[in-house]
Amino acid sequence: MMKAERQLYISNILEDEKKIVASDLSVRLNVSEDTIRRDLNEMNDRGLLKRVHSGAIRLGPPVVSFEEREVVYLEEKIRLAKEAVKLIKNNDVILIDGGTTNYQLVKQIPDSKNCTIITNSIPIMNLLKHYPNTTVIGLGGSLFKESLVLVGTETIRQLHSMHPDIYFMGVANMNDEVGVTTTNLEESYTKQTMMQVSNKTACLVTKEKIETISKFVVCKQNEITHFFSS
């Protein structure tokens, strides 16, 4: 098999299986692990995959505007939100950060629910103005424009005065080996603090984000208390 054919085969496997282990792939293709590593390194340099220690995983979905992401995988987001909203009890203090799946979660909260919601998400703050029985606390900070969330030193300072019952983390990328990652360093620090101050952490993750990776690590998967995915 020529190199071009082999790399096309690798791309197809990655699309179907979401991750590649170099040692397994060398057996499947009947070539040396060194050959596979060279292929993976070259494909990583060309932006076709993300190289990790054991092999490679898919790159995460591109960072686009909130409005563009809102309509993608909408049915799946609503389904996950309907499951996750069962975690919210009357009189809970809830921390919700950005993301279009978390936005759908807020839409599933009954108008009659009596709770306090803390958020750094501008779209979620705007949505919550219609909830008469919900106390809303908005976090300040620097605007991360693509996600429409407020992050950074000021956000973190405010969080240290809080202890929510549960934190719903917006997830950009998730991988078994690396954990939850994001594209923005300040956002990763903010999410880490949100986890630290909260009693529990829940994640709603749509299928296109599973086994993908970005530059900045938030946490390991085993640090998440509740996990909702396809």
pLDDT digits over 184-224, tens only?
999 999 999 999 999 999 999 998 888 888 889 999 999 99
With a cut of 70, say whether residue 96 has pLDDT above it: yes
What residue ranges do the domains of the chain occupy? Answer: 3-59, 66-229
| Least trusted range by pLDDT, from 20-34, 44-58, 99-113, 163-177 | 44-58
> For the CA atoms of the chain, what is the radius of gyration?
20
Q: Side-chain half-sphere of 11: how many Cα atoms within 13 Å?
A: 12
Residue 52, number of CB atoms within 10 A of its CB: 19
Place of tokens 């009947």: 30
Per-residue confidence (pLDDT) for residue 140, from 0 to 100: 95
pTM above 0.85, yes or no: no
Strands 50-51, 55-59: pairing is: antiparallel
Site of tokens 């923005």? 184
In terms of Cα–Cα distance, which of 114, 104, 113 is closest to 170? 104
Of the pLDDT bands very low, low, confident and very high (cuts 50, 70, 90), residue 5 is: confident
Res. 173: pLDDT tops 70: yes
pLDDT, position 7: 82
Q: Which amino acid belongs to residue 44?
A: N
The pLDDT value recorded for residue 64 is 63
Confidence at 6, pLDDT banded by 50, 70, 90? confident
For residue range 127-150, list pLDDT tens digits in order. 999 899 999 999 999 999 888 999
**144 in helix, strand or coil?**
strand
Per-residue three-class SS string for 67-133: HHHHCCCHHHHHHHHHHHHHHCCCCCEEEECCCHHHHHHHHCCCCCCCEEEEECEHHHHHHHCCCCC
pLDDT of amino acid 90: 95
Task: Give the pLDDT score at 122.
Answer: 96
CATH architecture of 66-229: 3-Layer(aba) Sandwich (3.40)
CATH class of the domain whose range is 3-59? mainly alpha
With cut-offs at 50, 70 and 90, classify the pLDDT of residue 25.
confident
Quickly state the pLDDT bin for 63 (edges 50, 70, 90). low
Nearest CA-CA partner of 82 in 69, 57, 101, 96: 101
